[in-house]
Structure 1
């Protein structure tokens, strides 16, 4: 491991252009449940069936309740040392670009420079109007975004007492360990567009069946297809085994890049595998990234205050 860190650090020091592909493993140490692993509130629902335009048309209240839960959990979480390390690398390295598949907003809260962070699946905190005649896009960090979407956390609240049934230890009440009968939410209870005052707002994430954002894809393609070579591509917290991430690894390799994978399981290699001169760092990204990037970014400490 130490020899791998040394050889990686030496290559990092000499690298001019660096690309990073980021997945859910980056946020694992922040305590966020995975998309398909949402807590007790959603154990009876198939998350993938809620993340579609059809589901929103059919029951926007239910879909907004699911995303309100995810927004709440993301805001409770804190960026970990891996988020902070990548943000520092982005600030210190002029030719660095990160493509994130995460929607949790933790990279942004770690102050990752916006121009060096592309969001493949959007963000939980982006919202847009569903009216065909309105082009509103904005950001909203209000929790909950509408009063009717409040997550019933407080067992003493008479409006939620009957709905909430916790596990044995009621002293450590946590929404991820609660089983809640969801209240009915009508369309009138949901957030309206502040611009047109008519269309419903929806989460600004890419749902199943929707196209990935062309602006993001074009930015990454432009970085890869630049006339200069790419020295390094880091694959962090994702297997990079599906399009477009898998293609980016191969494209970067064709431009001369060596590959460094930071993942919790050795099985999570890129689809094209690894060469002898690539690196695989197995374990928690929050522990590994600050260590292997230290030669360029210095020491990274977890802040004591909430970001």
Structure 2
């Protein structure tokens, strides 16, 4: 069972094999690196260690934190890293003091001094320490301080290098289907169901209004999406609308996340809900009246049910 620590104090591990990074999204590239990490640890009869950081450095260093959006919350990231089969996860608090530490000092103080690292698995484009460090410099440090090193990657998925930046852009553009290929799973949002105006019920399409749990979580581009919903211990198909509800609230309405859950008729206010985004079916549209909206929703439902059927989602 994975052991999770919120700092490096008192860490104990057997012949630790370490990798480190933000691991936002824990995508297919990360998964391949973690697989190598676990393999190297087993070969050396050691234990695999993932060192990650929180909060995100951009928040601490005040690098446009207002526009920062992440693929995974800390809870989601920790779960996905645990699911990769590693032995230890260390969530190191990121501070301004830490950001000023040169790579060599970080290796000496943290990786060697506190973790006792025997081997480092480094991503091909991972840079750390104040001012960064090159591959050649890192190799030289491994020889000087007597730890093994492997450089991993890049991995290709359909000819594309998975990266958190690439995946964020796809999702921000609404292309959740392509993003899912690089993630290795469907992108999801988690929140709680809150009360709404119940207008959807009046036109035959009741919706669950979702309040997000983490304001840093990236929300896909406005529009209608086919989705899978996890609610009350069960999975359902559904369609979710993201946007300002222009037909009802005009062009300046607040952004909302409203999901119509197929074959579900229970009250579920305040319940936790997870929505997995399968595919965007259309942009948000302003209709002349509610009747036109209702007719379009019928077409949306038929399109979404076909997507779910063809994709064998449920």
TM-score (norm 2): 0.26
Structure with more of its chain in helix, by fraction: 1
Per the normalisation by structure 1, the TM-score is: 0.26
Which is greater in Rg? Answer: 2
Higher strand share: 2
